[in-house]
Amino acid sequence: MKKKMMTAVLAMTMVAAAVAGCGSSSGSGTTVELTNEAGGDAQAETQKAEADQTAAEGTVYKVGIVQYVDDASLNQIEKAIEAELTAKGAELGVTFDYADYTFNGQADQSILTQIAADLVADDVDLIIPIATPTAVVMQSATEENQIPVVFSAVSDPVGAGLAADVNAPGSNITGTSDAIDTAAIFDLMLAANPDTAKVGLLYDKSQASSLGAIEDAKAYCDEKGIAYVEKTGTTSAEVQAAADALVAEGVDAVFTPQDNTVMTAELSIFEKFIDAGIPHYTGADSFALNGAFCGYGVNYEELGTKTADMAVDILVNGADPAATPIENLERGIVTVNTETAEALGLDYSMFKDMCSEVVETVTAEEFE
């Protein structure tokens, strides 16, 4: 990071010493040490805060944003992050330069690795990876240089090895989680159809974010005496084949957690399930936008906004990512695709008493 030095002179007993600030700055990232021999501690603290504020103004922070793949949820998160960084920059008088450092990994490990190397070479001040696979790559790339990483939409940060503890992540990384309540989703499933006897579990086994929720789903089914069939796919074509297999198995419903591979394929499989009379219950609202019957989870716009706020706190206020708790937004928002519900003949009126909010949507590719 580029550093600049400036000197400030305060009247009477106030003595200011300029020290190096952080950020790839076009202004000055200076902090000021103040003392008051007369004991005016409150006044000294006020003046120090004002000096720090003035010093930060004009600073340019280089922020890398790396999305795992194009899908409705992740696109929504990225847009929210960018909007919040722009708004906070205007509010604080600084610039968050993300436009020059925003990339899409296209769900390709080699591309993500190259993006990480490029961001490190560009000496960015902070990296925001979106989704678990992206966060894992960015963490690996920053272990030695300790560039701060603030991830977004990581379902199980501890299980993925990204954090030692959600309250004290450790090292240079923190962020936001979109962990879901799997049991609550299955409760919705049984409320809509108490006769559900066999459930299909559709996911990508290479997606670490899906594994914990799938294990929770199996435990729920075992407890309730519900049979389950697992089908997986690592590409859209494989997911389509897995969906066909679940239809052939005659499942009563299908469950998918926040799985980016299945999300990418949803527009190509939702009609298969509708034609077979099978409701698809999922762990994100974007699935419902792309044709699934029901999505249950966090508000991804709020998740992106919160992620950006955490990044700003680290860059501008010097917050330590290692000691910044991972944020898990309030869960309980159900999104129902009304076109799919009508096609399936499903009544979801009881959902309003089982969650914090029911949102209705129709099939589209992106959120407006």
pLDDT at residue 102 in the model:
98
Residue 47: band (very low, low, confident or very high) from pLDDT cuts 50, 70, 90:
low
3-state secondary structure of 46: helix
How does pLDDT run across 265-312, given as a tens digit for each residue? 999 999 999 999 999 999 999 999 999 999 998 888 999 999 999 999
Q: Residue 52: its pLDDT value, please? A: 52
The tens digit of pLDDT for each residue in 321-355 reads 999 999 988 667 999 999 999 999 999 999 999 99
- pTM recorded for the entire structure: 0.75
How many residues in total does the chain contain?
Answer: 368
Long-range contacts of 160-165, Cβ-Cβ distance < 8 Å, separation of 24 or more: 160/132, 160/135, 160/136, 160/208, 160/209, 161/136, 162/132, 162/135, 162/136, 163/326
Q: Compute the distance between CA of residue 15 and CA of residue 36 in angstroms, rounded to an integer.
A: 8
Q: Domains plus CATH for the chain? A: 1-58 (no CATH), 60-178+299-328 (3.40.50.2300), 182-297+332-361 (3.40.50.2300)
Maximum Cα–Cα distance across the chain = 84
pLDDT band for 36, please (50, 70, 90 cuts): very low
What is the C-alpha to C-alpha distance for residues 247 and 255, in angstroms, rounded to an integer?
13
Q: Which amino acid type is present at position 325?
A: P
CA distance 67 to 80: 13
**Alpha-carbon gap, residue 181 to 251, rounded angstroms:** 22
